[in-house]
Amino acid sequence: MEHVKADILILGSGGAGLFAAHHAADQNPNLDIIVSAKGLIGKSGCTRMVQGGYNVVLHPEDSVEKHFKDTIKGGGGINNQELAWTLVNDAPKRIRELETKMGVFFDRNDDGTVHQKPFAGQSFDRTVHKGDLTGIEIISRMRDQLYAKPNVEDWDEVRAIDLLIDEDSRRIAGCLMLSLRTGEFIVVHCSAVIVGTGGAATMYKIATPSLEKAGDGMAMCYRAGTELMDMEMMQFHPTGLLAENSRLNGGVLEEGLRGAGGYLINSLGERFMKNYDSERMERSTRDRVSRAAYMEIMAGRGTPLGGVYVDVSHLGMKNVRKMFPGMVERCRDVGKDLSKEPVEISPAAHFQMGGVKVDNDCKTNIVGLFVAGEDAGGVHGANRLGGNGVCDSTVFGARAGDAAAVYVSSLETSVEVSTTQIYSIIEEVIEPFQKVDGENPFYIRNDLKNLMWENVGLVRNGKDLEHAMANLELLEERVKRVSVKGSKRYNLTWHELLNVRNLVTVAKIVTSSALMRTESRGSHFRVDFPESNDEDWLSNIYVKKNQKGEPHYRVEQTKQTHVNVQEIQGYKVVAPSK
């Protein structure tokens, strides 16, 4: 077992992790910083997969107030308004930094200004982009610029197992890591940890995120004693590509297709959004479009593959191929020509609005632990606007890096990692190697994905949620019975077990929170409570592990610190007409 010392350890190399690294290194070039990823830094994670773009106020006719109200409206009014206000105000600074310091090239208008395209749920076209593959541009440039920072060390294919806490001060003391390549454990001794590993949407049968995502950060933070919030709020992207028995199944077809005037059509050839949001039609918010598509499918108006169609062919073949080359290529991989014909799509689990409770500087209730990006909750409330995701990662990644550097630089006392704590975690993690026969984690993962899709998905009800909770308890027991064989080096079965363990932990919290919220709001829709209920539920659900190791839930009314959400029209869920 290797022991390594650092000042700051950053878990995750998406927008949050890389921005945190840049800001921490710039804040204090004398700090030793490690960036660690389960995959390859710059080649994995979900920010790299961002297609549509980045919401930011740049045009003189736009305003941060408009962006803020759009964000609150989309979030069903339960956003942490301080975090949402910070998001929209910091975004222009981060865009300038991406262009001038990182060298990111965004698409331009003929007059040289940055081009901004329409995205759903917005009152102004404010989505900055690089074609329809924006994430690759952002992450590649940010990754390249890290080479100029000698105090930042990159670790590829090293995953975090659990956070280590100083038992006397209850401060962060480090993290137990595991190298996928060698199978060896690494103890990182550090004063601050920034968690930015992403969410757990891969607990669902059809999902959009990168394959290595498994809710690791949320699960670790929960086990360490942080408070989580809004965990029932899981966003389903309306347009996940349907590709039977393929890894491409669920791959996102970007929101700009709808923003540019694309149609959503059922098997009868009807533009069904007229029955669900006749004003905004296909440009309605993700939660409403996804739910509408799901209801069309459930009503028997679905396609042969069990989805609906997205059709942009009426925009013209040349225009489609010029505007959406990445999407055309993606559809071509499954034998479809997006520029000339409708393509089958389905809602797909995409993004978790819930996460660790943080303040404006990404601080948690554990001193020295900072959380940014999808691992953090509060910014998006009950539903995230398309284009606000990478905005969130860069804005709060930067803040986490700045705050962690200031915190570490001001420390006068050191922290200690308990050997007992380390070996207790390791013993649990390697125990499956000692079992001769046991459960297969790949089968458990498959059962989890089906269970969550069928019972805790787009449309929920109390009976299904209770069924899911009972079965999640059984899955948790099955996880404990998994056996693993072979070497610890690149042992995919072992790592699948670690993934499933974290996914089941997060899934239980998602399901319990969904059962508690007896209303519909944002991405959370219950057929037994189909309307938003402000009187009881203009509130957030929080959960924290108690001293017995069990989840303790509490409900707190959402603070209206900048705007009274009841003055914003359209933030509530109303029962669909069809």
CATH topology of domain 419-567: Methane Monooxygenase Hydroxylase; Chain G, domain 1 (1.20.58)
Q: Residue 244's pLDDT is what?
A: 75
Q: Residue 577's pLDDT is what?
A: 53
Catalytic, 478? Answer: no
Catalytic, 258? Answer: yes
Secondary structure (3-state) at 464 = helix
Q: Which entry of 126, 129, 159, 258 is annotated as an active-site residue?
A: 258
Residue written as token pair 């965004």? 106
Mean pLDDT value across residues 397-416: 93
Q: Which entry of 48, 67, 237, 399 is annotated as an active-site residue?
A: 237
pLDDT above 60: residue 578: no
- Residues whose CB falls within 8 Å of the CB of residue 366, separated by 6 or more in sequence, listed in order: 163, 165, 170, 171, 172, 224, 225, 226
Q: Please name which of 63, 79, 92, 67 lies closest in space to residue 561, comparing C-alpha atoms.
A: 79
Beta bridge partners of 356: 228, 376
Residues of the chain with CATH 1.20.58.100: 419-567
Secondary structure (3-state) at 526 = strand
Query: Mean pLDDT: which of 47-51, 62-66, 236-240, 291-295 is highest?
Result: 62-66
CB 13 within 8 A of CB 37: yes
Q: Please name which of 404, 375, 376, 373 lies closest in space to residue 391, comparing C-alpha atoms.
A: 373
pLDDT digits (tens, 9 = 90+) for 482-525: 999 999 999 999 999 999 999 999 999 999 999 999 999 999 99
- What DSSP string runs through 403-451? HHHHHHHT--S-----HHHHHHHHHHHHGGGG-SS-B-HHHHHHHHHHH
Q: Residue 476's pLDDT is what?
A: 97
- Residues whose CB falls within 8 Å of the CB of residue 499, separated by 6 or more in sequence, listed in order: 214, 216, 441, 445
Q: Residue 57's pLDDT is what?
A: 97
Choose the CATH number for 248-347 among 3.90.700.10, 3.40.50.300, 3.40.718.10, 1.25.40.10: 3.90.700.10
2-233+351-409 in CATH: which number? 3.50.50.60
Supply the Cα-derived Rg of the chain in whole angstroms: 23
Q: How many whole angstroms from its chain centre is CA 146?
A: 24
pLDDT above 50: residue 110: yes
Task: Name the pTM for this structure.
Answer: 0.93
Mean pLDDT value across residues 44-51: 79
255 vs 203 pLDDT, higher one: 203
Rounded to whole angstroms, the Cα distance separating 232 from 521 reads 10
The DSSP secondary-structure symbol of 533 reads -
Least reliable range by pLDDT among 34-38, 82-86, 128-132, 502-506: 128-132
Q: Please name which of 199, 124, 572, 224 lies closest in space to residue 425, comparing C-alpha atoms.
A: 224
Lookup: tokens for 571: 């933030």
Helix H or strand E encompassing 348: strand 343-352
Mean pLDDT value across residues 130-158: 92
Query: Mean pLDDT: which of 240-254, 322-336, 486-500 is highest?
Result: 486-500
CB 81 within 8 A of CB 67: no
Residues of the chain with CATH 3.50.50.60: 2-233+351-409
Mean pLDDT value across residues 230-256: 85
Residues of the chain with CATH 3.90.700.10: 248-347
CB 181 within 8 A of CB 38: no
Least reliable range by pLDDT among 47-61, 88-102, 191-205, 213-227: 47-61
User: At residue 484, what is the residue type?
Assistant: V
Q: Report H helices in 30-173.
A: 64-74, 81-100, 134-146
What separation in angstroms does the CA of 384 have from each of 121, 216, 417, 426, 523? 10, 21, 38, 37, 9
pLDDT digits (tens, 9 = 90+) for 448-464: 999 999 999 999 999 99
Residue written as token pair 């901004």? 116
- Strands 33-36 and 152-155 turn out to be parallel
pLDDT digits (tens, 9 = 90+) for 280-306: 899 888 888 988 998 899 889 999 988
Residue written as token pair 């980045």? 54
Mean pLDDT value across residues 518-534: 95
Q: Please name which of 310, 301, 300 lies closest in space to residue 237, comparing C-alpha atoms.
A: 310
CB 397 within 8 A of CB 35: no
